[in-house]
Amino acid sequence: MKILNAIMPAFMAILFFGCSSTTAKPPHVKEPPAWFQIEPGMTMGQVHALLGQSQESTEVRDVYRAEGHWELTVGYGRDGKVISVVDLQKNK
């Protein structure tokens, strides 16, 4: 019985540490949910109201970037309305 009392704590420690992970994995990062609200036909003002100012902007395109190498490119027609929405995750 004395041997069991001496061995049991060591045995439990081995089980505990043997089953635990030593490396933390970062959570999967997804594109911002607001990006899903952008649709063809919206005005540039509506896009900016939802997403704010983009990181890159011209008369015909806005480019938004987010954590996890996500990039959203919104293309505008001559009338200033959305004609294309491209959402992608770039490699590092």
- Backbone phi and psi for residue 10, each to the nearest 5 degrees, phi listed first: -65, -40
Res 91: pLDDT: 77
pLDDT exceeds 80 at position 71: yes
Sorted by sequence, the CB contacts under 8 Å of residue 30 that are 6+ apart come out as: 68, 70
* Domains in the chain, number: 1
CATH code of 46's domain: 3.30.1450.10
Whether the pLDDT of residue 86 is over 80: the answer is yes
Report if pTM > 0.75.
no
pLDDT of residue 15: 45
Distance (Å, rounded) from C-alpha 1 to C-alpha 66? 60
Among 16-25, 28-37, 42-51, 62-71, whose mean pLDDT is lowest? Answer: 16-25
Torsion of CA 77, 74, 63, 25, to 10 degrees: -170
- Which residue range forms the structural domain that includes residue 69? 2-89
pLDDT at residue 12, rounded to an integer = 52
